[in-house]
Every structure is written in structure tokens, then in C-alpha cells.
Amino acid sequence: MTKILVIARWEYMEKVKSKIFLVGLLLTPLIMIGMGVLPTLFVSQEDEHSRIIGVIDPGGTIIEPFTHRMQTRYLLKNRQPNYIVLPLAVGTGINVDDAVADANRRVASDQIDGYFFFQGSGRDSLIEYRSKTVGDFALPARIEEVLKTIVAEQRVQALGLDPAVLRQIAVKMDVRSVKLSAKGEKENAGFERVFLSAYVFLMMLFLLIVTSGQMLVRSVIEEKSNRIVEVLVSSCSPTELMAGKVLGLSGLGLTQMAFWALIGVAASLQFGMQLIDPGHALLLVVYFILGYLFYAAIFIAAGSPLNTEQEAQQITSYLVLVLILPIVLALPAMKDPNATWIKILTYIPFLTPTMMAMRIPIQMPMLWEILLTIVIMLISIAGAMVAAGRIFRIGILSTGKSPKLKEIFRWIKNG
Amino acid sequence: MLSVQQLRKQFTSVLAVDGVSFDVPGGSIFGLIGPNGAGKTTTIRMILRILEPDSGTVTYNGASFTKATRDILGYLPEERGLYKKSRLIDTLLYLAELRGLQRSKARVAVMTWLERLGLRDAAQRKVEELSKGNQQKVQFIGAVLHDPAILVLDEPLSGLDPVNQNIFKDILLDLKQKGKSIIFSTHQMDQAERLSDALCLINKGRVVLGGTVRDVKKRYGRNSLHVDFDGDGTILNTLAGVQNVMLYEHSAEMELMPGVTPRDVITLINPHLDLRKVELLEPSLHAIFLQTVGGLETAPKGKEGVA
């Protein structure tokens, strides 16, 4: 037992001091935060300068109310209007083709940010807001809303009614999806939050397993190629060596996770958003550890018969493909978390931890599902560790040509 | 005393070790010699319990090794390497602790050995910053740190310059004085001849020759003619009455055929070369080796895989 601890401490200390670990530790949360937060930040970013919107209004019916409403309703932080409306061509006498050509030129030369051509309020129509940038979702929505109000008022007036009627008959109704917990209680989780937390946890589990798996394989191959492994297994049994490695690198993974969790808590306090509730988090940690141990065994089994880094990279990239599958499935799983195929995939040990990491934030699985998957994982881990141990024992001492798959199966059987 | 009895190991297609036996008393150095692929490394691995023998026993003072007693073994593997990115002191402490030494005691031992091999100032440096010779010293320290009763060294002197070879030799002799059982394998016969008290020659998994160096040589008798000369020595290759000629620049060793006297050979050589020295000796270990395994020693060095 003490030798296992000696090995575990060595693996932990040497890796924790390595640059690769530090870079991964710091860079990963930055990437996660970057991927999660930056796009929303940019999209919801408010304008800093007024934008100039050109209007071509041959009917001359909307230009005045539109200008008034746009300039008074939307203001910048400095109380200046967010949008300045510039009448480009107004009234029945204009040549529409010339006006459009002129407007296009103005947009091209950045005199105006964009323009639209209003054909008339007589019939419903599609209005094109033309500008160099089409990524701004807010502006077309605002133009649409203002124009709708104006046209509605004008139509009401044409019917000889008081425009105030509009306010009386206006229907305000939203349909929103609300998540219910397993106990039937309402949870305050919007699509984005659920999606984000499912994704963040998937990615974290994925990165953790891949990076530490690679570290595991690399350390085995290093010891094989420099023959230290012979010194090691003359001092302790291969089983002790393997256990020590798994323990040490698990400690490393937990360190990483704890650090990330700290950052996550800090970030959620800072941005005022709660990514996940503590009950879920605890369950996820359980699946983290289970997945971690299972894949540690797989990586050891795959890595110990190999002799070169290149071979190792090939093998790990196949494993990465298996691991990444649930990430691809996240979107369809969100739509229908109760689909049978998603449930079936959850019970395949290779996928269980990541599938669960994805399912828990979307919809908490039933208690029996959780217990059953944990039992399945525990059995799989035990089996994988025994098989990995048998491969490890022979694999670490084999040099030269890498053994064929058939040979490896014989090692497992004869172990 | 370390006693190896009837070790046998079969791999998938080859019988790597076939009934190897020898004893290494405390306070002696034992040379394990043989061509590549002869089974030396497999034998060593079985002594160290890295490999389980199919049959046969390895005992020390009559008892076989257990988990608790295997810490009396020290091992320097043939192909050398260390954790490149790790610091010297950390690596050595780790190896010592793996051998069951307490950290505080390990620290003292590490510093003592680093001092002895002139590496004290390098303790905090990374292994990759050291020269190859110094890395080899570090590995050697790793093998002897825990003061093992049995020391197994695979090609301990290869790749060392003469100065370091001497340092290592002195240390080995010192450890021998202290009563350790030392086993070392080598391809270099002159090393085996100078260092070992007893030796065994393994070929194709079997012991083909064994005993003290003197006994082995005696068995071959004084029938080896050593000559020093000036001139072109190629004539010696075609000389009648001798065999197994080993020709060097200005010296040669050759085996007299039965019934041939040194005088006969000298008479044959004299017209062609100026002889400066002629000696009738026991054959060198090198000659015995070549004779026994049939020139295999010059075969290209290959890997001794186990699978």
C-alpha cells in the first residue's frame, strides 16, 4: 500500500509542476468562459454612437411618426438618440430607382448605416433593411415593431376609430417553456442556461479525461522507452505501479476540477448567473470520478503495449472520437431528453458519464436510472481495471514491435 | 549467498532460458556473459522478479524473495534513461522510497552518493541538463541508494569514458568488500576478466561455461600463443599449425593445434615478421568466448524483446 502512495505522490507532484498541466489548468476555463460568454456579450452589446438610418418613403405617410418614435424611444447611455432617421426621398414625386441607387451609394460610402424602402401602408409586405452589417438582430426588430404600431394606428384611424382603441385591444401574450424538476417543482431554467451548463460540463469532462488520459499514456511510454519501468517493477508489483499511477493522476484530475469549480463559482457570482444547482453538481462529480477511472483503465490498456508517442496519439484520437459523441448529441437530446435512443446510449459504459453529464442539467433522470448507471459503471470499472492490469503487466515489458490485438486478448484471457 | 537454480522461461516461440543455475556468494562479483539474445536479460529479469520463471528458483540465503524482501535488490537496467524533466534529487528520492527507504534517510543517502560521484552541485538540476555520463552515474546511484545486498547491473560500464569506468570499478570493488553479491552482464570480455571472481557464459538459453575465471581458463590449458611483432601480420591468418587466430595491429593471439609446439610456429613466422615478444599463456576470455559460441559476438546488436 505504501508503495502505491509513493508512486501516486510522484506522479502527482511531477505532473502538477509541469508546464502542460499549468497551461491546461488556466487555459481551459478561459476557453470555456470565452466560448460561453463572449458571443452573448457581443450580441447584447449596446451601441456607443448614434446610427443613421435612411428612409425612402414614396407615400410620405410614415416618415414623421417613424422619426419621432425611433429618436425618442431608443436612447444611448448619454441620452442621445440611438438612431437618427434621415429622410432620403419622401413624397410621390420621387424616382424610386434613383433614390434606391443613391441610398446604396450612401451605405457604401458609410454616410448612413443602412436604409429601408417603405412601399406603403396599404398592404402587408416585407421590408428590407439594407446595410453593410447584417449581424445586428436588435435593429430590424425595433424597426419592425415601430412600423407595425404606426401602420396599425393609421389603419385604425382610417376606419374612423380612436387610436386609443389599439391599446385596449392589444393582446400581450408570451409562451415560455418552463422546466419542471423530477418532483414536479418549477425550475427557473431557460434554454440558454440549460444548454450552456450541459455543454460546459460535457466539455470539462471531455477535456479532463482526454488530457489526463494522454498524460497517463505518455508517462507509461516514457517509462517504457527509458526502461525505468524495469527498475520500478523490480521494486513493486505492476499492479501497485498501475494503481499508483491511476491514483496520482486522479488526484491531478480532482485538483483540476476543484480549481475550475472555484473559477466557475467566482464567475457565476461575478456575472450573477447560477450555472447549476449544488445537488446536480454533486451528482456530476460522481460521474466525473466514475468516468475518469473507467477511461484511465482504457487508456492504460491501450497505452501500455505501445512503444512510441505516435502510436499513442493514434489510439488516443480514436478514444477522443468516442468521448466526443455525446457533445454532438447534446442538441437533439435537449429537444427530447426522454427519447429511447438517448436512454439506451446512457447505459453504454463508454458513454454513460458524458451522457449523464448532458442529461442531468436538461432533465434529471429517474433515481433508478442514476443508481443503475452507477452500478454499471462500477462493474465496468472493476472489469476494465482487471483487464488493463493484465495488459499492463505484460505490455510494459514488451519492446520492439507492438503486439497484435489478438495477442492482447490472449494476455487478458491468460492473465 | 544468491542462488539461482534451474531457471527456465518459455516465450511464445522461443525457449529463452533453459535450466540456468549459478551461485553468487556474498562479497563476490559474478559476470554474466554471452552473445546478444542468449538469455542474459531474461535471466536477470527473473532474478529481479520482473518476470515469473516457468520453473526454477531464485533464493537468497536459502529463502525465496517475497514482497517484503525484494527491497534487498538493486538494479541498473541495460538501456538507460531517467525522467528527463524531473530534478535529480526528486528522481533519486523517488527511487529510494520505492525501495522502502524513509524519506529522511533517503535524503542523506542521496546526498552522500551525489557527493561521492561529484554531482552534489547538480542535485537541483533537471536530468536532461546533465551529460550522458553523468546521467549514467545518477542511474547507478538509483541502483545502490538503498544499500542493497544484491546488486544486478546490466552492462554497467558501457558508454563510460576511462575515468568514469575507473570510478565505477572502484565503487564495485568497494561494494564487494562490504559483502554484497554483485551480478553484472557484459559483452566486453576484458571487463569480465578483470572484474569478476566467477562467471558464466550463456548461449541459447543454456550455461555453456561456468566457474571462477581461473578455473575456466585452466580448462583450456596453456595452449594460446600471444605474439607482438613489427610488419604486416596478415601472414598469420594462413599459418599452418594454429587456429582461431585473432589478429590486431601489432599483436596476435592464436591457438596451437594439438602436437604443435611454440617453437614450430616461431620458425614459421620468423622469415616474415620481426617478433618482439612471444608468450605461451592461457587463452583470453575473449578467445574462449569466440571459441565457445562461434563468432556470434560480432553479430549486430539487436533488441532482446520478451514478448
What phi, psi does A330 have (nearest 5°)? -60, -40
Model confidence over B249-281: pLDDT tens digits?
Answer: 888 988 888 888 888 888 888 888 888 888 888
Contacts of A308 in chain B (CB under 8 A): none
Percentage of residues of chain A with pLDDT beyond 90: 7
Predicted confidence band at B174 (pLDDT cuts at 50, 70, 90)? very high
Predicted confidence band at B296 (pLDDT cuts at 50, 70, 90)? very low
Please tell me which residue of chain A has the smallest CA distance to B75: A231
Q: Between these two residues, B54 and A409, which has the higher pLDDT value?
A: B54
Percentage of residues of chain B with pLDDT beyond 70: 95
Contacts of B138 in chain A (CB under 8 A): none
Please, are residues B186 and B19 in contact by the beta-carbon 8 Å criterion? no
Strands A179-180 and A129-131: unpaired
Q: Test A230 with B80 for CB contact under 8 angstroms.
A: no
pLDDT score of A415 = 64
Average pLDDT value for residue range A183-206? 66
Residue A391 pLDDT exceeds 50: yes
Distances, alpha carbon A38 to alpha carbons A35, A204, B210, in Å:
6, 18, 76
Nearest Cα to Cα of residue B254 among B226, B294, B291, B295: B226
Q: How far is CA A33 from the centre of its chain?
A: 10
- Contact of B262 with chain A, judged by CB distance below 8 Å, is answered with no
A122 residue type, one letter: G
Residue A46 pLDDT exceeds 80: no
Pick among B52, B80, B97 to test the A interface (most A CBs inside 10 A):
B97
Q: CA-CA-CA-CA torsion for A74, A80, A82, A86, nearest 10 degrees?
A: 110
Predicted confidence band at A185 (pLDDT cuts at 50, 70, 90)? low
- Contact of B301 with chain A, judged by CB distance below 8 Å, is answered with no
- Report the C-alpha gap between A345 and B71 in whole angstroms: 48
Q: Residues spanned by CATH 3.40.190 within chain A?
A: 51-164
CB–CB contacts below 8 A, A to B? 75
pLDDT score of B305 = 40
The set of long-range contacts for A265-274, using a CB threshold of 8 Å and a minimum separation of 24, is A267/A33, A271/A37, A273/A193
Q: What 3-state DSSP class applies to B8? A: strand
Q: Between these two residues, B284 and B119, which has the higher pLDDT value?
A: B119
- Report the C-alpha gap between B176 and B195 in whole angstroms: 11
pLDDT score of A257 = 81
Nearest Cα to Cα of residue B292 among B186, B214, B207: B207
- Report the C-alpha gap between B175 and B182 in whole angstroms: 8
Burial of A335 (0-12, 13-18, 19+ CB in 10 A): exposed
Residue A380 pLDDT exceeds 90: yes
Residue A189 pLDDT exceeds 60: no
Residue B286 pLDDT exceeds 90: no
Q: What 3-state DSSP class applies to A78? A: coil
Residues near A215 by Cβ (< 8 Å), separated by ≥ 6?
A15, A20, A21, A249, A252
Distances, alpha carbon B153 to alpha carbons A135, B73, B141, B156, in Å:
71, 11, 12, 6
Distances, alpha carbon A198 to alpha carbons A27, A195, A328, B188, in Å:
20, 5, 12, 64
Burial of B297 (0-12, 13-18, 19+ CB in 10 A): middle
User: Cell numbers at residue B262, please?
Assistant: 611454440
- Report the C-alpha gap between B81 and B127 in whole angstroms: 9
| DSSP bridge pairs for A180 | A186
Q: What is the ipTM of this complex?
A: 0.78
Average pLDDT value for residue range B182-192? 86
Nearest Cα to Cα of residue B183 among B9, B65, B46: B46
Residues near A128 by Cβ (< 8 Å), separated by ≥ 6?
A116, A117
Contacts of B41 in chain A (CB under 8 A): none
Average pLDDT value for residue range A309-313? 82
Burial of A322 (0-12, 13-18, 19+ CB in 10 A): middle
What phi, psi does A87 have (nearest 5°)? -70, 120
B270 residue type, one letter: N
| DSSP bridge pairs for B74 | B151
Nearest Cα to Cα of residue A246 among A35, A69, A388: A388
- Report the C-alpha gap between B32 and B195 in whole angstroms: 11
The architecture of the domain spanning B222-281 is 2-Layer Sandwich (3.30)
In DSSP notation, A186-199 reads EE---HHHHHHHHH
> Which segment of A40-44, A352-356, B79-83 scores lowest on mean pLDDT?
A40-44
Q: What is the DSSP letter of B87?
A: B
**Chain B: closest CA distance from residue A307 (Å):** 12
> Which segment of A123-137, A191-205, A376-390, B126-140 scores lowest on mean pLDDT?
A191-205
E strands, B161-285, are 181-186, 198-203, 206-212, 224-230, 242-247, 251-256, 274-281
Q: Between these two residues, A59 and B130, which has the higher pLDDT value?
A: B130
Residue B204 gets the label, from left (phi > 0), alpha (psi -120 to 50) or beta, of left
- Report the C-alpha gap between B98 and A114 in whole angstroms: 74
Average pLDDT value for residue range B27-34? 91
Residues near A203 by Cβ (< 8 Å), separated by ≥ 6?
A32, A327
Strands A129-131 and A114-117: antiparallel
pLDDT score of A122 = 64
- Report the C-alpha gap between B259 and B95 in whole angstroms: 58
Question: Domain segments of chain B: what residues?
Answer: 2-217, 222-281
Residues near B149 by Cβ (< 8 Å), separated by ≥ 6?
B26, B60, B72, B179, B180, B181
Q: How far is CA A216 from the centre of its chain?
A: 26
B residues 120-159 near A, CB within 8 Å? 142-143
- Report the C-alpha gap between B34 and B203 in whole angstroms: 6
Point out the residue among B77, B85, B97 whose CB comes nearest to the CB of A231.
B77
Residues near B239 by Cβ (< 8 Å), separated by ≥ 6?
B245, B254, B265, B268, B269
Please tell me which residue of chain A has the smallest CA distance to B49: A234
Model confidence over B80-114: pLDDT tens digits?
Answer: 678 888 899 999 999 999 988 898 999 999 999 99
Nearest Cα to Cα of residue B141 among B181, B99, B183: B99
User: Cell numbers at residue A71, please?
Assistant: 429618436
Contacts of B75 in chain A (CB under 8 A): 230-231, 234
Residue A376 pLDDT exceeds 90: yes
Place of cell 418549477: A186
- Contact of A139 with chain B, judged by CB distance below 8 Å, is answered with no
Residues near A236 by Cβ (< 8 Å), separated by ≥ 6?
A3, A4, A7, A244, B98
Point out the residue among B80, B143, B307 whose CB comes nearest to the CB of A227.
B80
Please, are residues B106 and B70 in contact by the beta-carbon 8 Å criterion? no
Please, are residues B130 and B138 in contact by the beta-carbon 8 Å criterion? yes
**Chain B: closest CA distance from residue A250 (Å):** 19
Nearest Cα to Cα of residue A358 among A233, A204, A130, A172: A204
Predicted confidence band at B22 (pLDDT cuts at 50, 70, 90)? very high
Residue B228 gets the label, from left (phi > 0), alpha (psi -120 to 50) or beta, of beta
Mean predicted lDDT score pLDDT of chain B: 86
Nearest Cα to Cα of residue A211 among A25, A14, A7: A25
Q: How many other C-beta atoms can be found within 10 angstroms of the C-beta atom of residue A40?
A: 11
- Contact of A18 with chain B, judged by CB distance below 8 Å, is answered with yes
- Contact of A215 with chain B, judged by CB distance below 8 Å, is answered with no
Q: Provide the CATH number for the domain formed by A51-164 in this structure.
A: 3.40.190
Q: How far is CA B229 from the centre of its chain?
A: 31
Q: Between these two residues, B254 and A179, which has the higher pLDDT value?
A: B254
Q: Provide the CATH number for the domain formed by B2-217 in this structure.
A: 3.40.50.300
- Report the C-alpha gap between B34 and B186 in whole angstroms: 8
| DSSP bridge pairs for A321 | none
- Contact of B70 with chain A, judged by CB distance below 8 Å, is answered with yes
Handedness of CA B94, B95, B100, B102 (dihedral sign): negative
